[in-house]
């Protein structure tokens, strides 16, 4: 049997695809997951999980169960987290507890019994706004939008003279600008793992995931990825709802490319330790994405609705510069957006998601988190 890898959050969207990737490469895989109802509605082992993977159930804050899950393990991929910018702004204790205290619980166990490799899922959200270029050609890494400009519907950041800034790919060297509780916890997870890993001789890699999409996303979870949220709306005969004007740019990376990056990080030498962007290296507007999906699902009649409203914690433009991951991990995204979305649409068409977007948006508005 090959090297044994523990995947926390392993029964979920990314974890299950990584499980398939590792099993195919000859690894032995153990999964640790709490099967939270927000993601796994019936709380049972998902049917898509390989029978060749061992599943242990438990919370990442449960030190006894975490130590048991780590027994006999060579490497750890830590994916378990509460996910969602909007929800993190009112489920504050839960996000900090699961993401930061859960990570600390794992690291405490690893300090006592170190493994060869630790890979932790970080997030593009730590950057806040992405990198921009000014009209003069200067790099701008501290772009921000004022409350007054947002209220006026001037969605894009400008320079000190009021001139438009041009969005650019965001590299790892850009300093974090933490705009949500979720972003804060992901940065804390990343730094804790790198710090403890160095102290205890555990080769550690943090992967800053951009917008991940693909099959097995929790379609009835209104705090999951935007493509899954749009799919849930469309499958229930409702138009996609988009904050601001829909022209904000993001980087969408297929879940199989994420799994490939995680496997590369496990195999990478200690010299490759550090933080890496994992994205497609391309940008697309949220509005274009919604239009593509409704065409693929045969719901061209359901035109996306741009709300002209701002959600606290959101940023305007952010997409990945993946040069460092190419050089350091040999990472190369393989799934095009066209192919990935076609696959997603075919899968969604066989599912029966519940649309809970109005509920989630209402929760944000009730707390004053939508302007």
Q: Which are the catalytic amino acids?
A: 182
**Crossing angle of helices 13-24 and 255-267, rounded to 10°:** 60
**Neighbouring residues of 272: CB distance < 8 A, sequence distance ≥ 6:** 205, 265, 328, 329
Give dist(CA 290, CA 352) in Å, integer: 19
Token code pair at residue 320: 């990945």
For the chain, helix, strand, coil in percent to 5 are 35, 20, 45
Instruction: Please give the C-alpha separations between residue 73 and each of 70, 87, 117, 129, 224, in angstroms, as whole numbers.
Output: 5, 33, 10, 38, 30
Give dist(CA 12, CA 49) in Å, integer: 9
Give dist(CA 333, CA 347) in Å, integer: 21
Token code pair at residue 74: 């060579």
How buried is 307 (Cβ within 10 angstroms: 0-12 exposed, 13-18 middle, 19+ buried)? middle
DSSP string, 290-310: HHHHHHHTT-TTS--EE----
Which residues does residue 121 pair with via DSSP β-bridges, in sequence order? 207
Per-residue b or e along 258-289, where b marks 16 or more CB atoms closer than 10 Å to that residue's CB:
bbbbbbbbbebeeebbebbbbbbbbbbbbbeb
Residue from 241, 209, 224, 218 nearest 306 by CA: 241
């Amino acid at each position: 049997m090959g090297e044994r890898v523990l995947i926390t959050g392993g029964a979920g969207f990314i974890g299950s695809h990584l499980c398939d990737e590792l099993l195919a490469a000859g690894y032995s895989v153990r999964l640790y997951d709490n099967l939270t109802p927000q993601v796994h509605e019936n709380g049972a082992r998902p049917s898509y999980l390989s029978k060749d993977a061992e599943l242990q159930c438990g919370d990442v804050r449960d030190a006894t169960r975490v130590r048991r899950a780590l027994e006999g393990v060579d490497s750890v991929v830590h994916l378990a987290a509460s996910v969602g910018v909007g929800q993190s702004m009112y489920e504050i204790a839960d996000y900090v507890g699961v993401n930061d205290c859960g990570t600390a619980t794992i690291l405490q166990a690893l300090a006592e019994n170190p493994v060869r490799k630790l890979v932790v899922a970080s997030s593009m959200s730590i950057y806040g706004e992405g990198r921009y270029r000014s009209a003069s050609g200067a790099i701008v890494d501290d772009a921000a939008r004022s409350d007054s400009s947002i209220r006026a519907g001037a969605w894009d950041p400008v320079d000190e003279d009021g001139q438009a800034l041009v969005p650019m790919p965001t590299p790892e060297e850009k300093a974090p600008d933490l705009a949500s509780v979720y972003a804060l916890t992901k940065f804390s997870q990343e730094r804790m793992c790198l710090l403890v890993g160095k102290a205890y001789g555990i080769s550690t890699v943090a992967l800053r995931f951009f917008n991940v999409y693909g099959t097995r996303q929790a379609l009835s979870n209104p705090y999951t990825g935007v493509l899954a949220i749009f799919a849930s709306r469309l499958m229930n005969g409702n138009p996609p709802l988009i904050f601001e004007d829909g022209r904000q740019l993001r980087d969408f990376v297929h879940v199989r490319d994420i799994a490939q990056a995680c496997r590369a990080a496990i195999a990478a030498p200690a010299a490759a330790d550090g933080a890496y962007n994992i994205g497609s290296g391309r940008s697309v507007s949220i509005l274009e994405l919604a239009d593509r999906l409704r065409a693929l699902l045969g719901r061209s009649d359901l035109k996306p609705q741009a709300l002209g409203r701002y959600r606290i914690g959101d940023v305007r433009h952010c997409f990945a510069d993946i040069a460092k991951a190419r050089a350091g991990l040999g990472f190369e995204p393989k799934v095009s957006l066209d192919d990935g979305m076609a696959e997603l649409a075919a899968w969604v068409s066989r599912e029966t998601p519940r649309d809970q977007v109005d509920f989630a948006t209402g929760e944000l508005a009730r707390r004053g988190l939508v302007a």
